Structure 1
């Protein structure tokens, strides 16, 4: 079987969507073939002029006329889904459309885009939702495609955490004066909906009772300056550490050093947490997580089993969850161990085979 993935976002393009497609292709079953067309060389979007996606039409028309593919995978419902939908009236192609969450939310916010999105899905053979929350939104909006919806979550490469030298872990503790401290950790892009501000507010409530608690934020982003200013306003200077230049090895080290991982993501309009691969990375290190009730997070975190789900708008709820975990070492250990044991269902090799098998069912 030969599949063609067409996507605007693909490595080395940075971001969660590009990372998702890159890993999916890398883990694709070797007995089948998957070919990728992306926009690195401007093959899909014209740099100027009306309807920039017109170049996608030309590229795909030429590709499909020259080579045989059994199935097309569409990385973005708009605009690429429009192109494939139009081509499906001319060429005998079967296709599936990926939906991550925000893409569906943006389409749903505008009647014209929603009209078009429904027609694209209506002619599709598969609708591939990256999380169960998006799957439910699609089924409610377009019940006729419910039987074609399949959930393919993001994944991880290994169940076990990467090896980090004990000397390196000790050096990080020494560099940031963390001996005998409890460590609360957030890893990710610092944008408003990730909830770093609410965790900072929770820290101001916790410090009088846990003076050796430290909050490490690993990441950069447009909300970083505001969060730094908030930390100063709350008097958290010594208790909060921002790290903006950590490489993958250092990020892995912080997961191992942390006692609790927290990302209290919240929804902001049509933008919500699509999944939260960082929750799995924390579980991979055997750590419990605190997560905000937003979008697809419930696929990554099982409340009371692998972590604690909280109201992301409430700093009091976040503080209460942190306090509960700090006071109960056995609960921390149980949540972390259960989370790590659950990781096998998120291996990329499993996710790729799941999608491959669904495609074969509709061919």
Structure 2
């Protein structure tokens, strides 16, 4: 970006309910877009949820304002955020206001009826599930349509999400573009061969314990393998404890198959997670569409690929834009347990294929750049 463009650029306010220390795809997206926007020279201020006393704040290359909100979508949180937006309306009025996820969108949907509270430059990013949730509710559908009409730019991470948005909200047609996700900027990989003699093969899943993430589907497919193959495997699950019925079901299912070792590793910090990736042989996240919840992309697939892991996944949502079937991994139709088990069996028996897919994954995972996505988000608004 030229100096003149930087000088002309308005201030950018990125407002989110999902930011460090919250973890997950949306939180990673918001954090990385913020860092990339600052690197491009924009005057950026991030508004984020309260971090909690136990979290040590990072040093950021932009101004960070912690709001007195917990970051949920309930009415109390919306009211508190709304009060902040009203209080700062003069600063926001002529800036670029960027809402990268559905939490602050819900608040802006209500404030948009008052012109004095509505910024002149508004950018929205949709990830997948919120599109269906907005469309499912008649009153939210109307509010979302109005908000999209007011927006200057609407973006998605994948073609799948773009098509989903246009199907339910055609108002976005003349202002929509892709801003794909990429690897975390602090992501470091030490190349490993993933070929260890005399040790069990490790199948790894990283993702919250939720029916949409599909840990139960992976577990049941591994249990369908022959006793000989099961004895050669360990299944590692990285996820924070949810104390949900789903977690109970996964743990009970794991206990019923004594010859398949299953380890629940908890919610690991990034520095420990890197080591777990390097000790694994196959990455599996067999997401499914669950009610109004869909897998719009999955940044974790890129992280696994960057560690040289072949990926096994369900061909749903935007997963095929993160995993290339036969190139970086194997995609299986959802709810086909025999086919899923066969995919695992193929990779277990074929170390050369594991190495081939993993090597291709390393290159594939680095194809996108956060700064390109950030520039696509904001630069058109400078010249408009």
- Does TM, scored on the shorter chain, surpass 0.5? yes
Distance 1:310 1:64, change over 3 A: same
Q: Is 2:314–2:333's contact at 8 Å kept on the other side of the alignment?
A: yes
Instruction: Please name the residue that 1:81 is paired with.
Output: 108
Distance 1:287 1:113, change over 3 A: same
- Structure 1 residue corresponding to 2:28, chosen from 14, 19, 35: 19
Instruction: Please name the residue that 1:278 is paired with.
Output: 300
Instruction: Please name the residue that 1:208 is paired with.
Output: 227
Q: Is 2:214–2:285's contact at 8 Å kept on the other side of the alignment?
A: yes
Distance 1:276 1:196, change over 3 A: same
Instruction: Please name the residue that 2:84 is paired with.
Output: 59
Supply the distance in 2 between the matched residues of 1:39 and 1:244 (Cα, whole angstroms): 24
- The answer to whether 1:156 aligns with 2:183 is yes
Deviations 1:123-155 (A, max 9, x none): 211112233222111111232421211222332
Q: Is 1:53–1:79's contact at 8 Å kept on the other side of the alignment?
A: yes
* CA-CA distance at 1:283 after TM superposition: 0.8
Higher alpha-carbon deviation: 14-23 or 38-47: 38-47
Higher alpha-carbon deviation: 300-309 or 260-269: 300-309
Instruction: Please name the residue that 1:130 is paired with.
Output: 157
Unaligned runs of 5+ in 2: 1-8, 51-65
Supply the distance in 2 between the matched residues of 1:319 and 1:89 (Cα, whole angstroms): 57
- The answer to whether 1:229 aligns with 2:256 is no
Deviations 1:217-250 (A, max 9, x none): 12233333221110122334x5222212533233
Secondary structure, counterpart of 1:346 in structure 2: coil
Deviations 1:271-325 (A, max 9, x none): 1123212111111111110111222212211222211111232221211111122
- The answer to whether 1:352 aligns with 2:356 is no
Q: Is 1:7–1:80's contact at 8 Å kept on the other side of the alignment?
A: no
Supply the distance in 2 between the matched residues of 1:278 and 1:67 (Cα, whole angstroms): 34
- Structure 2 residue corresponding to 1:217, chosen from 225, 237, 257: 237
* CA-CA distance at 1:13 after TM superposition: 3.4
- The answer to whether 1:197 aligns with 2:216 is yes
Instruction: Please name the residue that 1:292 is paired with.
Output: 314
Unaligned runs of 5+ in 1: none
Instruction: Please name the residue that 1:340 is paired with.
Output: 362
Higher alpha-carbon deviation: 18-27 or 71-80: 71-80
- The answer to whether 1:120 aligns with 2:143 is no
* CA-CA distance at 1:93 after TM superposition: 0.7
Secondary structure, counterpart of 2:173 in structure 1: helix
Secondary structure, counterpart of 1:79 in structure 2: helix
Supply the distance in 1 between the matched residues of 2:237 and 2:84 (Cα, whole angstroms): 43
Secondary structure, counterpart of 2:365 in structure 1: helix
Secondary structure, counterpart of 2:113 in structure 1: helix
Supply the distance in 1 between the matched residues of 2:119 and 2:369 (Cα, whole angstroms): 33
Instruction: Please name the residue that 2:172 is paired with.
Output: 145
- The answer to whether 1:106 aligns with 2:133 is yes
TM-score, normalised with respect to structure 1: 0.85
* CA-CA distance at 1:207 after TM superposition: 3.8
Deviations 1:140-176 (A, max 9, x none): 123242121122233213597434999xx99xx9xxx
- The answer to whether 1:182 aligns with 2:201 is yes
Deviations 1:76-125 (A, max 9, x none): 44413314533446666121112121211111111111111111111211
Supply the distance in 2 between the matched residues of 1:134 and 1:146 (Cα, whole angstroms): 13
Instruction: Please name the residue that 1:258 is paired with.
Output: 280
Distance 1:50 1:258, change over 3 A: closer
- The answer to whether 1:246 aligns with 2:268 is yes
